[in-house]
Amino acid sequence: MSTSGSIVHVVLTQWRPETPADALAQMRDIIGRFQAEVPGVLSVTEGPSVSVEGLESGYEWALVVTFRDAAVRDGYLDHPTHRPVAAIIGEWAERLVVFDVAA
How far from 58 is each of 12, 13, 15, 54, 84, CA to CA, in Å?
Answer: 10, 8, 9, 9, 24
Model confidence pLDDT, tens digit, residues 2-37: 446 999 999 999 999 999 999 999 999 999 999 999
Q: Which residues of 35-65 are buried (b: 16+ CB within 10 A; e: fewer)?
A: eeebebbbebebeeeeeeeeeeeebbbbbeb
Q: Is residue 71 part of a domain?
A: yes
Does 63 fall in a domain?
yes
pLDDT given for residue 2 in this prediction = 47
Torsion 86-91-92-96 (CA) sign:
positive
Residue 6 covered by a domain: no
Residue 2 lies in a domain: no
Question: For residue 83, what are the domain limits?
Answer: 19-96
- Residue 90: CATH number of its domain: 3.30.70.100
Q: pTM score, two decimals?
A: 0.92
Based on the structure, what is the number of domains in the chain?
1
For residue 13, being part of any structural domain is answered with: no
